[in-house]
C-alpha cells in the first residue's frame, strides 16, 4: 500500500501545469511572452498574464500561483522572479531553475525575490509535515490502542470526553517537542494547540467508525487513507504540482493536507487559510460522529476484552466434566490393592499403607542397576518390563505373572523384617533371599 501510493506519487517528479504568472508592463507584452514560452514548455506550466507587480506578489503570497516572472520594463530593466519558499521548497527550486534558464537565454539579468522565506531552524520546511503527522498518528492510535486495552471506554458517552482530553494534551506535548526541544517552530502555541486538538479529535472519530466495523484491522485503511495518501497529497515533501492530478483533488479533501496547510498558514502567513482547513477537518469529524451514533444504536459496542487463549468448545465441555479415573496397582508388603488415579492430578493418589523405607530403597536400586545384573532374589524379566520408580511406592500396572513376583519379594522383605526383631536370628538370610528352584526354572524356560 505504501509502495503503491507514495512511490507512485513521488517517483520521477516533474512539473505538471504548475501555475506561474507572467507580468509585463502591459497585458499585450505579457501575452506575447506567454505565447513564446508555451511553445517550448507545453504542459509544464500554467502561464497566466498579469500587468501588475503588486497583484502578482499578492497571488504568490496567498499561494494562488507558485511564482511570478516579471519582465523588464522602463522602471526596472532587470527581470525578476517572485517566489514563495514557505509554500514549498521543491516548487521554488523548479521555477528558479527553469526561469533562470529563460532569462539566461534572453540575456536578461534575473533578480530573485522571496515573499516568505523559511526559518533558519527549518531550512527544508519539513516541520509542518512532521507536526501534522504527529497529530494524525495521535488521533488514530488512541482508538486502536484504547479499543483493545480499555474496551469499556468504547461507548460514545465515555469515548468523547476521553478523546477530547487526549487531543488537547497530546497537541500541547507535540508543540513542546517541536518548539522547546527541537526548535523547528517559534511560538504560536495557542493557534497550533487549537488546530492540533481539532485534528486529533476528528481523526479519532473517523478511526472509531472503521474500528466499529473491522476491529483492529481498521488500522490498515486508516493508515492508507490518512498517511499513505495524505502525505503525498499534503504538498509538504513535494509540490502537488509535481505529482499526478488525483493528488490535487485529495489535497482539498483529506485531513493530512488540511493539517499541513493550517500549520503553514499559522507559521508564515498569519493564519490566512486556517478557517477553510478547519472546515475540512470539521466535516470529517461531524460526519464520523453521526455515523458512530447510528452504528451504536444498531449494534452497541463491545465493552469486554477479547478472550485470550480461551478454551475451545470441546475443551470447555471437557473441563466441566468429572475427571476420568484409571486403575493402577500399588503393593504394600505382601498385599496389593487397586487404587484410583485422577487424570487431572497426573499422579497416583492411593490409600492404604505405603511400602517400607527398606523396600523403597531396594526399588530405587533396581532401577539404577542394569538388567543384566539384577538384585539377588529378584526376577530379571521384571526389570526388563520397565519398572518405573518415579514415585516411590507407586508402581505401574504389571501383568499377573510380574505381580506374583512382586508379592513374593514383598513377603520375603516382610519375613526378614520379622527375623530382625527376634534375638539370635540373622535377618535377610541366604534362604530368605534365594528364590525357589522351581521358580527360577520356570522363568528360564520362559
pLDDT digits (tens, 9 = 90+) for 334-367: 334 444 343 344 444 444 444 444 444 444 444 4
Q: How many Å apart are CA 179 and CA 267, to the nearest integer?
A: 12
pLDDT given for residue 381 in this prediction? 42
Q: How many Å apart are CA 7 and CA 355, to the nearest integer?
A: 79
Identify the band that residue 124 occupies on the pLDDT scale cut at 50, 70 and 90: confident
For range 364-381, the mean pLDDT: 44
Which of 141-150, 173-182, 338-347 is predicted most confidently? 173-182
For range 177-185, the mean pLDDT: 93
Residue-wise pLDDT for 50-97, tens only, equals 999 999 999 999 999 999 999 998 888 899 999 999 999 999 999 999
For range 411-430, the mean pLDDT: 59
For range 201-213, the mean pLDDT: 96
The more confidently predicted of residues 255 and 5 is: 255
pLDDT given for residue 111 in this prediction? 94
pLDDT given for residue 360 in this prediction? 46
pLDDT given for residue 309 in this prediction? 54
Q: How many Å apart are CA 206 and CA 209, to the nearest integer?
A: 5
Nearest Cα neighbor of 185 from 193, 194, 176 is: 176
pLDDT given for residue 340 in this prediction? 39
Cβ(43)–Cβ(15) below 8 Å: no
Cβ(44)–Cβ(38) below 8 Å: no
Q: How many Å apart are CA 219 and CA 401, to the nearest integer?
A: 69
Phi then psi for 128, rounded to 5 degrees? -65, -40
Which of 23-27, 274-278, 365-369 is predicted most confidently? 274-278
341-359 burial string, b = 16+ CB within 10 Å, else e? beeeeeebebeeeebbeeb
Phi then psi for 287, rounded to 5 degrees? -65, -40
The residues, ordered by sequence, that sit 6+ positions from 153 with a Cβ below 8 Å of its Cβ are 146, 159, 162
* Residue with grid cell 523384617, as numbered in its chain: 417
pLDDT given for residue 77 in this prediction? 87
The residues, ordered by sequence, that sit 6+ positions from 5 with a Cβ below 8 Å of its Cβ are 224, 228, 229, 232
Q: How many Å apart are CA 133 and CA 226, to the nearest integer?
A: 9
pLDDT given for residue 363 in this prediction? 45
- Kindly list the strands in the beta sheet with 79-83, ordered across the sheet, starting from the edge strand earlier in the chain: 45-50, 18-23, 67-70, 79-83, 110-114
pLDDT given for residue 161 in this prediction? 96
pLDDT given for residue 40 in this prediction? 85
105-114, 141-150, 184-193, 396-405: the lowest-pLDDT one: 396-405
Residue 382 scores a pLDDT above 90:
no
Identify the band that residue 252 occupies on the pLDDT scale cut at 50, 70 and 90: very high
Q: How many Å apart are CA 233 and CA 261, to the nearest integer?
A: 11
pLDDT given for residue 119 in this prediction? 87
Q: How many Å apart are CA 212 and CA 227, to the nearest integer?
A: 20
Identify the band that residue 304 occupies on the pLDDT scale cut at 50, 70 and 90: confident
pLDDT given for residue 291 in this prediction? 96
- Between helix 255-268 and helix 189-214 the angle, nearest 10°, is 180
Nearest Cα neighbor of 260 from 83, 96, 63 is: 63
Options 3.90.380, 3.40.50, 3.30.70, 3.30.450; which CATH number does 15-117 get? 3.40.50
pLDDT given for residue 405 in this prediction? 62
Residue-wise pLDDT for 37-53, tens only, equals 998 888 899 999 999 99
What end-to-end distance do the CA atoms of the chain give, in Å? 76
Pairing of strands 79-83, 110-114: parallel
Q: Tell me the pLDDT of the chain averaged across its residues.
A: 78
For range 378-395, the mean pLDDT: 41
pLDDT given for residue 424 in this prediction? 56
- In angstroms and rounded to an integer, the radius of gyration of the C-alpha atoms of the chain is 44
Percent of the chain with pLDDT over 90: 53
Cβ(80)–Cβ(103) below 8 Å: no
**The pTM is what?**
0.68
Identify the band that residue 113 occupies on the pLDDT scale cut at 50, 70 and 90: very high
For range 214-233, the mean pLDDT: 91
Domain ranges of the chain: 15-117, 122-298, 325-445
Residue 293 scores a pLDDT above 80:
yes
Amino acid at each position: 500500500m505504501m509502495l503503491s501510493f507514495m512511490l507512485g506519487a513521488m517517483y520521477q517528479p516533474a512539473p505538471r501545469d504548475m501555475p506561474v504568472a507572467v507580468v509585463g508592463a502591459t497585458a499585450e507584452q505579457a501575452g506575447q511572452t506567454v505565447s513564446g514560452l508555451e511553445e517550448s514548455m507545453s504542459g509544464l506550466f500554467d502561464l497566466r498574464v498579469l500587468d501588475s507587480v503588486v497583484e502578482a506578489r499578492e497571488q504568490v503570497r496567498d499561494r494562488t500561483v507558485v511564482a511570478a516572472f516579471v519582465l523588464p520594463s522602463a522602471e526596472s530593466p532587470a527581470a525578476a522572479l517572485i517566489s514563495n519558499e514557505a509554500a514549498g521548497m521543491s516548487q521554488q527550486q523548479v521555477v528558479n531553475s527553469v526561469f533562470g534558464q529563460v532569462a539566461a537565454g534572453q540575456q536578461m539579468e534575473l533578480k530573485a525575490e522571496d515573499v516568505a522565506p523559511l526559518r533558519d531552524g527549518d531550512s527544508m520546511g519539513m516541520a509542518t509535515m512532521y507536526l501534522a503527522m504527529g497529530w494524525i498518528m495521535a488521533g488514530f492510535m488512541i482508538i486502536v490502542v484504547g479499543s483493545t486495552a480499555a474496551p469499556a471506554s468504547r461507548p460514545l458517552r465515555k469515548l468523547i470526553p476521553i478523546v477530547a482530553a487526549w487531543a488537547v494534551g497530546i497537541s500541547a506535548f507535540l508543540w513542546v517537542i517541536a518548539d522547546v526541544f527541537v526548535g523547528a517552530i517559534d511560538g504560536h502555541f495557542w493557534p497550533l494547540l487549537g488546530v492540533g486538538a481539532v485534528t486529533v479529535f476528528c481523526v479519532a472519530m473517523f478511526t472509531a467508525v472503521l474500528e466499529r466495523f473491522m476491529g483492529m484491522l481498521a488500522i490498515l485503511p486508516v493508515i492508507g487513507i490518512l498517511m499513505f495518501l495524505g502525505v503525498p497529497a499534503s504538498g509538504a515533501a513535494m509540490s502537488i504540482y509535481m505529482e499526478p492530478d488525483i493528488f490535487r483533488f485529495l489535497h482539498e479533501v483529506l485531513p493530512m493536507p488540511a493539517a499541513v496547510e493550517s500549520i503553514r498558514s499559522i507559521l508564515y502567513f498569519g493564519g490566512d487559510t486556517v478557517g477553510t482547513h478547519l472546515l475540512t477537518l470539521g466535516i470529517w469529524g461531524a460526519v464520523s460522529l453521526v455515523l458512530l451514533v447510528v452504528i451504536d444504536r444498531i449494534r452497541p459496542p463491545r465493552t469486554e476484552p477479547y478472550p485470550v487463549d480461551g478454551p475451545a468448545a470441546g475443551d470447555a465441555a471437557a473441563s466441566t466434566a468429572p475427571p476420568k479415573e484409571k486403575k493402577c496397582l500399588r503393593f504394600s508388603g505382601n498385599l496389593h490393592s487397586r487404587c484410583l488415579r485422577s487424570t487431572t492430578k497426573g499422579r497416583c493418589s492411593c490409600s492404604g499403607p505405603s511400602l517400607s523405607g527398606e523396600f523403597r530403597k531396594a526399588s530405587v536400586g533396581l532401577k539404577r542397576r542394569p538388567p543384566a545384573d539384577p538384585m539377588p532374589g529378584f526376577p530379571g524379566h521384571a526389570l526388563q518390563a520397565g519398572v518405573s520408580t518415579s514415585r516411590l511406592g507407586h508402581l505401574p500396572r504389571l501383568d499377573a505373572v510380574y505381580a506374583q513376583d512382586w508379592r513374593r519379594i514383598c513377603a520375603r522383605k516382610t519375613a526378614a523384617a520379622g527375623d530382625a526383631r527376634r534375638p539370635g536370628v540373622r535377618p535377610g538370610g541366604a534362604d530368605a533371599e534365594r528364590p525357589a528352584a522351581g521358580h527360577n526354572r520356570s522363568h528360564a524356560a520362559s
